[in-house]
Amino acid sequence: MTAPTVEAREVRKSFDDADTGTVAAVDGLSLSVRKGQLTALVGPDGAGKTTLMRMFAGLMTPDGGALSVLGIDVARDPQQVQDRISYMPQRFGLYEDLSVQENLDLYADLHGVPMDARRDRFARMLEMTDMARFTDRPAGKLSGGMKQKLGLACTLVRSPDLLLLDEPSVGVDPLSRRDLWRIVQQLVDDEGLSVIVSTSYMDEAERCAQVFVMHRGKVLAEGTPDALRERAHGLTYTALTPPGVAARDLQARLIDAPHLVIDAVPQGGNVRYILQPDEKAEEVAALTGEITTEPRPEELEDAFMMLLRQQEDEAPASAAATRPAAVVEGTADGKPVIVVRDLVRKFGDFTAVASTSFEVRRGEIFGLLGPNGAGKTTTFRMLCGLLPATSGQLDVAGRDLRTARAQARARIGYVAQKFALYGTLNVRENLQFYGRAYGLGRRALRDRIDEMTEQFSLDPEAQSGLLPGGFKQRLSMAAGLIHQPEILFLDEPTSGIDPLARRAFWRTITALAQGGVTIIITTHFMEEAEYCDRIAIQDAGEMLALGTPREVRELAGTDGARDMNSAFIAVVEDARARRSRAEAA
Amino acid sequence: MKRSASVTRLLALLRKETRQMLRDRSNLYVGLALPLVLILLFGYGLSFDVTDARVAVVMEDGSAATVNAVAGLVGSDYLSPIWAHSMFEAEQMIRADEADAILRVPADFTRNLTAGQGQLQLILNGVDSNTAQAIEGYANSAVTSALLHRADRQADVGTEAASVAIVQRIWFNEASNSTWFFVPGLVVLIMTLIGAFLTSLLIAREWERGTLESLFVTPARPLELVLSKLAPYVVIGAIDLVMCLLAAKFLFEVPIRGSLWIIAFSSILYLLVSLSLGLVISGLTRNQFAASQIALLVSFMPALMLSGFVFDLRNVPVVIQVVSNLLPATHFMGLIKTLFMAGDYWPQIIRANVILAIYTTVLVIVARRTLAKKLD
């Protein structure tokens, strides 16, 4: 039995918060990480994952307890640890004005990698990251996924004794995510690398030998993925969606019964759910009614959701927004509210969006998916009227965006990716500002603010900047909806939000769509595509697939039919292969 | 082995900082073009020379001797006399800003001149004290040379020149008396600006972009980070220094009496002080905007106002004198003025350089602290 790579005993770390006093980020946590394997830290936002990682890396000193990394007391001698480990923070600090090669050289020099070893290592890294063609390109000009891969390559210029990865796949598309994991897995296999990774993706945790589930600064559970999965044994089912019913409506029905159902998510056109452990057969039967249900094998995610739900005092998902939103007039008549014909956008020689056409009907949830740099954001900005199109037709809410941008804008709401409200104003003041900006009258505004704060369970007097992540998200939504838009645009609203908050968020979206609001959304979480009525997959500016989630999965063939993530990868790779064949010919 | 690893790291960091500096155009503009603008702006725009100063002349005594004494004013490039009929009228002119000074020839001038006690009254508008002093000098020399002229022609009244005294009074700012050596002072201002302003962005930028977190978890040592950030800007500063010296010598024809080596050495030492001050500010604020504002406030503004560049320190209240003496800029300002105007005066050279060396050491240590590889 070799000595553990990381050994933590009763480690504590608190931060002073001007508003709430002292907050314990890591609260008497103990764990032991074995050498030469992949270890995952999973947990919702605020579980203390990043703080713990930073303490491992010697960037923060524990307030109490003992922490040894590679057998070294990291509080006493952080430099000795830093000489031997590699650490990739959430936002890896690439020097954007330096080229790919210069970034690699810098880290190789800092780690004192000898020249002869360097040649092989660089060649291997560039090959694994598929970046050999881009060595002269400034890092700032790489796509998000490429930057993340370069960040990983920089931390791996030499084989460290321990690799720390802090949420390496946040905001990274499925293809780049798969590449990142391929690299890590290969190094674990070839070099016996010890890796600690924090993540909110359960499929990533599933690859690890050991998983620690963290919650509020403590370890809630630990074990192999198999052992953890066992906790959900016998409680996991799939509800088959009857024809004519949207999977998300069935999901809403199940998740709104928290005393019976721990969790429910749409998947593959059906709904997978977890029952509460204690026997309530009649009640469950009453809930599911005529719907066909069948047991399914339990997954790590099921166990994770169970563990988290047990910790929550309330059931936030149902509390968030079960109250249906006010119904927009003239709803669900099936008429298109967005018509896009041959839309093109060029930046100089570069074609960001090539001849794209689609329609979105009233009350639909329309998902725009694609890898980093696929043209999603450009398309999205053109739809909101933030960016003029180079050519093509673009009607939004019955207005031609090329001629009547202001009128169209009055009928759409936009929620930006980052929290774009005023942090020093309180909730009411922010909503007032946005309401007035849209020209709402005094009375109407007051009524609307009351409705919004009630619908999203927001405290009107709370200071916006101090709200927890999930509540900031709700406030952004409320601000985007204050003028009762017909169409709501959401740009990666769930990036960096934990599974619980994401469930609550989607419950709100479902309620809004039921109320007749048309939703256009971009996301990196492929399983979220299952909530959409229709999705479009874009890559390199072209529309690769368009249809219901089921249609897109079927288009991807047998490989991709299982889940959206593999369907997405199959569709994109297929198109890329076709394009490179066409270029070769 | 250990030493060579450290050298490799330092070189790698130096290469990185230099590349970043060269690729960021705005940095280079501030570093090289701005000093050029400052040299030209301060050199020409803030000219101390007064030409065609309007002097209201009140002739209460119309004799030949009087006309002679005042004739010098007419011939001067710097002064343009306006004839006033009475003292009252002249005063009105000053108040209306139609004249900058009054030269009054009293009714008993000729009589007193003959008695060897000729007195002229010069009243200056002290609102602009620098102009007032310039006019004082011009009027004095104009009158004196006119009288010397007369003395040449009339050998028998050769003693008169010495016997004319101009009795002057400065209105509105009685105590004003400043020396103005602004070209040497420009060296101080530019070294301050380049140093503090440019480096104030460096560490803050790395905090903002999140690059420090990655850099911290490498074998790189804090001191290596500090040194690598200083070095490229020392080069920029040296180029600026050469520009200043060339401008001083060839553009403004200011005498450089001291040794060039000592000027260069002291300037680089002062540059290190302001560079490391910029790094300290950058490391403490961790925010580029705040850092650049604070850098301007605590380095450039005091260097402009309190170092003796504009205002003579002998005339400021004790509190300000204490503050001034705490500023490294003040010590360097004194030294560089002496070096330009008077030459090498070793006690001052040693004293100022020791002070600057102490500042450099302290600031580098503090800057290293701010990069102590901790996020909490």
Residue B177 touches partner A, C-beta closer than 8 Å: no
Residue of B nearest to A102 (CA): B16
Residue A208 touches partner B, C-beta closer than 8 Å: no
Residue range(s) occupied by CATH 3.30.70 in chain A: 229-311
Residue B210 touches partner A, C-beta closer than 8 Å: yes
CA quadruple A226, A232, A233, A237: dihedral, nearest 10: -120
- Mean pLDDT, all residues of chain B: 83
CA distances from A432 to A414, A415, A443 (A): 16, 16, 11
The C-alpha of B185 sits at a distance from chain A's nearest C-alpha, in angstroms, of 36
AA identity, residue A351: T
Residue A330 has pLDDT above 60, yes or no: no
* SS3 state at A558: helix
Q: What angle do CA A156, A159, A161 make, to 5 degrees?
A: 115
Range A109-133 average pLDDT: 91
């070099």: which residue's tokens? A191
Sort out which chain B residues have CB atoms less than 8 A from A97's CB and list them. 19-20, 23-24
Residue B374 touches partner A, C-beta closer than 8 Å: yes
The C-alpha of B196 sits at a distance from chain A's nearest C-alpha, in angstroms, of 22
Kindly state the tokens that stand for A355.
Answer: 């001849």
The C-alpha of A477 sits at a distance from chain B's nearest C-alpha, in angstroms, of 27
| Share in percent of chain A as helix, strand, coil (round to 5) | 40, 25, 35
Residue B7 touches partner A, C-beta closer than 8 Å: no
CA distance linking residue B17 with residue A328, whole number of Å: 57
CA distance linking residue A2 with residue A377, whole number of Å: 49
| Share in percent of chain B as helix, strand, coil (round to 5) | 70, 10, 20
Pick from B9, B12, B219: CB nearest A82: B219
Pick from B9, B211, B212: CB nearest A109: B9
Instruction: Tell me the percentage of chain A whose pLDDT exceeds 70.
Output: 94
The closest alpha carbon to B190, from B230, B248, B257, belongs to B248
The C-alpha of B292 sits at a distance from chain A's nearest C-alpha, in angstroms, of 21
Range A125-152 average pLDDT: 89
CA distance linking residue A574 with residue A579, whole number of Å: 9
Residue A524 touches partner B, C-beta closer than 8 Å: no
Residue B365 has pLDDT above 80, yes or no: yes
Residue B58 touches partner A, C-beta closer than 8 Å: no
**Residue B103 Cα to chain centre, angstroms:** 31
Sort out which chain B residues have CB atoms less than 8 A from A115's CB and list them. none
Range A138-162 average pLDDT: 90
Phi, psi for residue B366 in degrees, rounded to 5: -65, -40
Residue B218 touches partner A, C-beta closer than 8 Å: yes
Residue of A nearest to B18 (CA): A98
pLDDT computed for residue B46 by the predictor: 63
The closest alpha carbon to B35, from B196, B205, B241, B324, belongs to B241
Q: Which CATH superfamily does the domain covering A6-223 fall into?
A: P-loop containing nucleotide triphosphate hydrolases (3.40.50.300)
Q: What angle do CA B18, B196, B349 make, to 5 degrees?
A: 105
pLDDT computed for residue A329 by the predictor: 46
Domains (range + CATH), chain B:
2-46+180-370 (no CATH), 53-171 (3.40.1710.10)
CB A66 within 8 A of CB A9: yes
pLDDT computed for residue A18 by the predictor: 62
Q: Give the single-character DSSP code of A326.
A: P
Q: What angle do CA A331, A337, A339 make, to 5 degrees?
A: 160
| pTM, full prediction | 0.80
Burial A523-534 (b: 16+ CB within 10 A, else e): bbbbbbbbbbbb
pLDDT computed for residue B369 by the predictor: 92
CB B203 within 8 A of CB B229: yes
Kindly state the tokens that stand for B84.
Answer: 């006033």
Bridge partners (DSSP) of residue A167 are none
The C-alpha of B226 sits at a distance from chain A's nearest C-alpha, in angstroms, of 15
Give the best residue of B25, B202, B214, B286 to mutate against chain A (max A CB count within 10 A).
Answer: B214
Residue B216 touches partner A, C-beta closer than 8 Å: yes
Decide if B216 and A59 are in contact by the 8 Å CB cutoff.
yes
Decide if B216 and A57 are in contact by the 8 Å CB cutoff.
yes
Range B163-185 average pLDDT: 53
CA distance linking residue B99 with residue A495, whole number of Å: 72
Range A367-373 average pLDDT: 82
Sort out which chain A residues have CB atoms less than 8 A from B8's CB and list them. 109, 112
Sort out which chain A residues have CB atoms less than 8 A from B217's CB and list them. 57-59, 82, 85-87, 164
AA identity, residue A138: P
Annotate B199-261 with three-state secondary structure: HHCHHHHHHHHCHHHHHHCCCCCHHHHHHHHHHHHHHHHHHHHHHHHHHHHHHCCCCCCCCHH
Q: What angle do CA A309, A315, A321 make, to 5 degrees?
A: 135
pLDDT tens digits, A189-246: 999 999 999 988 888 999 999 999 998 899 999 999 999 999 999 999 999 988 888 8
* Residue B49 CB coordination number (10 Å): 7
CA distance linking residue A10 with residue A529, whole number of Å: 41
Kindly state the tokens that stand for B297.
Answer: 């406030």
Range A373-383 average pLDDT: 84
Pick from B12, B209, B213: CB nearest A109: B12
Residue A408 has pLDDT above 60, yes or no: yes
More confident residue, B260 or A335: B260
Kindly state the tokens that stand for A415.
Answer: 């929620």
More confident residue, A108 or B137: A108
Residue A154 touches partner B, C-beta closer than 8 Å: yes
Q: Which residues contact B208 (CB under 8 A, 6 or more apart)?
A: B286, B287, B288
CB A322 within 8 A of CB A506: no
CB B53 within 8 A of CB B79: yes
Instruction: Tell me the percentage of chain B whose pLDDT exceeds 70.
Output: 85
pLDDT computed for residue B53 by the predictor: 79
The C-alpha of B277 sits at a distance from chain A's nearest C-alpha, in angstroms, of 24
Q: What angle do CA A407, A411, A417 make, to 5 degrees?
A: 115
Residue B257 touches partner A, C-beta closer than 8 Å: no
Give the best residue of A59, A86, A136 to mutate against chain B (max B CB count within 10 A).
Answer: A59
**Strand ordering across the sheet containing B165-171:** B79-84, B53-59, B101-105, B119-125, B165-171
CB A248 within 8 A of CB A531: yes
The closest alpha carbon to A499, from A208, A224, A255, belongs to A255
Range A116-135 average pLDDT: 90
pLDDT computed for residue A465 by the predictor: 81
AA identity, residue B176: S
Residue A311 touches partner B, C-beta closer than 8 Å: no
Phi, psi for residue A94 in degrees, rounded to 5: -80, 145
Looking at the domain that runs over A229-311, which CATH code has it been given? 3.30.70
Q: What is the β-pairing status of strands A38-42 and A195-199?
A: parallel
Give the best residue of B213, B221, B223, B228 to mutate against chain A (max A CB count within 10 A).
Answer: B213
* Residue B122 CB coordination number (10 Å): 20
Phi, psi for residue B201 in degrees, rounded to 5: -85, -20
- Of the pLDDT bands very low, low, confident and very high (cuts 50, 70, 90), residue A61 is very high
Residue range(s) occupied by CATH 3.40.50.300 in chain A: 6-223
Pick from B5, B209, B215: CB nearest A112: B5
Decide if B12 and A105 are in contact by the 8 Å CB cutoff.
yes
pLDDT tens digits, B316-356: 888 888 888 899 999 999 899 888 878 889 999 999 999 99
CA distance linking residue A528 with residue A547, whole number of Å: 15
Residue B180 touches partner A, C-beta closer than 8 Å: no
Residue B116 has pLDDT above 90, yes or no: no
Range B246-253 average pLDDT: 84
Pick from A82, A91, A109: CB nearest B8: A109
Where do the H-state alpha helices sit in A212-340? 225-229, 247-255, 281-288, 300-311, 316-321
pLDDT computed for residue A92 by the predictor: 76
CA distances from B4 to A84, B8, B10, B225 (A): 18, 6, 10, 16
- Of the pLDDT bands very low, low, confident and very high (cuts 50, 70, 90), residue A58 is very high
CA distance linking residue B219 with residue B4, whole number of Å: 13
- Of the pLDDT bands very low, low, confident and very high (cuts 50, 70, 90), residue A317 is very low
Residue of A nearest to B220 (CA): A110
CB A304 within 8 A of CB A213: yes
Pick from A92, A98, A109: CB nearest B214: A92
AA identity, residue B178: S
Decide if A93 and B12 are in contact by the 8 Å CB cutoff.
no
